[in-house]
Structure 1
Amino acid sequence: METALYLLPVTLGDTPIETVLPSYNKEIILGIRHFIVEDVRSARRFLKKVDREIDIDALTFYPLNKHTSPEDISGYLKPLIAGQSMGVISEAGCPAVADPGADVVAIAQRKNLKVVPLVGPSSIILSVMGSGFNGQSFAFHGYLPIEPDERAKKLKTLEQRVYSEQQTQLFIETPYRNNKMVDDILRNCRPQTKLCIAANITCEGEYIRTKTVKEWQGKVPDLSKIPCIFLLYK
């Protein structure tokens, strides 16, 4: 196994590992002793899912979240510099995509350390695949503003990019506010604009549907507490 910073995808929910991750990932994981993780508890749980016999207490975890200082992040790579492979684990999906893991990858690149992204589920890519929208040009915007007027303005700006640039627009919301997000989309976007709602991707109850704003009116399922991605296109 080549010494590198391995970016280790995890499941997007309570999904069997073997349905979404290649067996090769397990081989790599079992060769790593140092993990940079978004959440230590969920990372430990994921590793036990990969192999129930793994000795968790023999592993070292370095927390990486919005509160971690740049100095701490840079120091995390000492084992890698010393010749030991390291792994980056996100809370869900692929690390370094809409995720603080990008910070440590940037440092590794600046230090000319080898970075190896492994194959795994990305809700962003999977939702684009399932939407029927433009997969040649798309943009992910993360969370939209919470304040109603700012959110309405942002939705209209994104919708305009759909028509002027033929670009698919993606964004997310905190699960308990999903229903309010859909209400805002239906209130602010044109009737002919297409909205894809992609929920519970790769998990039980997966739901990926594309309709026009007009067709969604009065027919939106309850999306509260469900991880969703919303996509707009023409």
Structure 2
Amino acid sequence: MTTTLHLIPVGLGDSAPDRWLPQAAQEITAQLRYFIAENAKSARAFLKLIGTQVPLQDITIHTLKADSTPQDIRAWLDAVPADQDLGLVSEAGCPAVADPGSLVVAQAHARGMRVLPWTGPSSIMLGLMASGLQGQRFAFHGYAPVKAHERDTQLRAWESVSHKQQQTQILIETPYRNQAMFDALLQTLRDTTRVCIASALTCPDESIQTRTVAQWRKAGAPDFDKKPTLFLFLAS
């Protein structure tokens, strides 16, 4: 039998699993005894939310750290019995998308394992879908530089690419720096550039708004304090 690596999405915030994870994926997750996760504690909280068919203390969770080596990952995969499957979970959203889980997926392919992605929430895709910006051409950049002058230079460079290629630019920020990023976008980008701010996606306090830079200056910042937020923009 071929071991399957299940790529299992995790919720983006405080909302019921039935809203963001198919029932079939929940049922598979409940059966698994082996997992790889960025954080074992949060992975256990996720499994407790889903419900498991075996006690949590009998489930093996390997922690994927910044210093985890390909040898570590291969050892975790090889330790799974031939009649068992395993799951890969992220801290939030879809594993292996803006996430180090891609290292695990690469090793699974190298070992001839079946890789099965399950449908679930990706803040990148949800934000893009709801932004009204260019969905045919887009780029996800992760985090912008932290230092102000480097960040502003990078934002201008991304805006130039956006204008030339009509490509939506997508980035994230640490929640406590949302206001700083919002201010940088308004100070750096052109008045006519459209900016979407998508916060707390899939959660009860979800907010998705798209305005031009000039309109955002008049409206002021949305309620995104300490909330996971996605920033998207498209230069006209």
CA–CA distance in structure 2, aligned partners of residues 128 and 49 of structure 1: 28
CA–CA distance in structure 1, aligned partners of residues 87 and 53 of structure 2: 18
Counterpart code for 1:195? V
Q: 1:113 — aligned with what?
A: 113
Q: 1:96 — aligned with what?
A: 96
Q: Post-superposition, which runs of at least 4 consecutive aligned residues in structure 1 deviate over 4 A?
A: none
For residues 153-207 of structure 1, the C-alpha deviation after alignment (integer angstroms, 9 at most, x for no partner) is: 1101111111111111100111000000010010000000000000000001100
Asked if the contact 1:5/1:80 (under 8 Å) is kept, the reply is: no
Secondary structure of 2:31's counterpart equals: coil
Asked if the contact 1:186/1:217 (under 8 Å) is kept, the reply is: yes
CA–CA distance in structure 2, aligned partners of residues 203 and 17 of structure 1: 11
Q: 1:147 — aligned with what?
A: 147
Paired positions, count: 234
Q: 1:45 — aligned with what?
A: 45
Identity %: 45
For residues 79-138 of structure 1, the C-alpha deviation after alignment (integer angstroms, 9 at most, x for no partner) is: 347342110011111110111111110111122211000011110000000000111111
Counterpart code for 2:159? E
Secondary structure of 2:94's counterpart equals: coil
Secondary structure of 1:217's counterpart equals: helix
Which stretch of structure 1 is more off in the superposition, 191-200 or 102-111?
102-111
State the TM-score, normalizing by the size of structure 1: 0.95
Q: 1:131 — aligned with what?
A: 131
Counterpart code for 2:74? S
Q: 1:230 — aligned with what?
A: 231
Please report how far the alpha carbon of residue 54 of structure 1 lies from its aligned counterpart in structure 2 after TM superposition.
4.5
CA–CA distance in structure 1, aligned partners of residues 140 and 16 of structure 2: 27
Counterpart code for 1:51? G
Asked if the contact 2:10/2:94 (under 8 Å) is kept, the reply is: yes
State the TM-score, normalizing by the size of structure 2: 0.94
Asked if the contact 1:179/1:222 (under 8 Å) is kept, the reply is: no
Q: How do 1:45-84 residues align onto structure 2 when only pairs under 5 Å count?
A: 45-51=45-51, 54-80=54-80, 82-84=82-84
CA–CA distance in structure 2, aligned partners of residues 52 and 187 of structure 1: 49
CA–CA distance in structure 1, aligned partners of residues 113 and 196 of structure 2: 39
Asked if the contact 2:197/2:209 (under 8 Å) is kept, the reply is: yes
Q: How do 1:5-16 residues align onto structure 2 when only pairs under 5 Å count?
A: 5-16=5-16
Superposition RMSD on alpha carbons, in Å?
1.6
Q: How do 1:142-221 residues align onto structure 2 when only pairs under 5 Å count?
A: 142-218=142-218, 219-221=220-222
Query: 5+ unaligned residues in a row in structure 2: which ranges?
Result: none
Asked if the contact 1:12/1:121 (under 8 Å) is kept, the reply is: yes
Query: 5+ unaligned residues in a row in structure 1: which ranges?
Result: none
Please report how far the alpha carbon of residue 70 of structure 1 lies from its aligned counterpart in structure 2 after TM superposition.
2.6
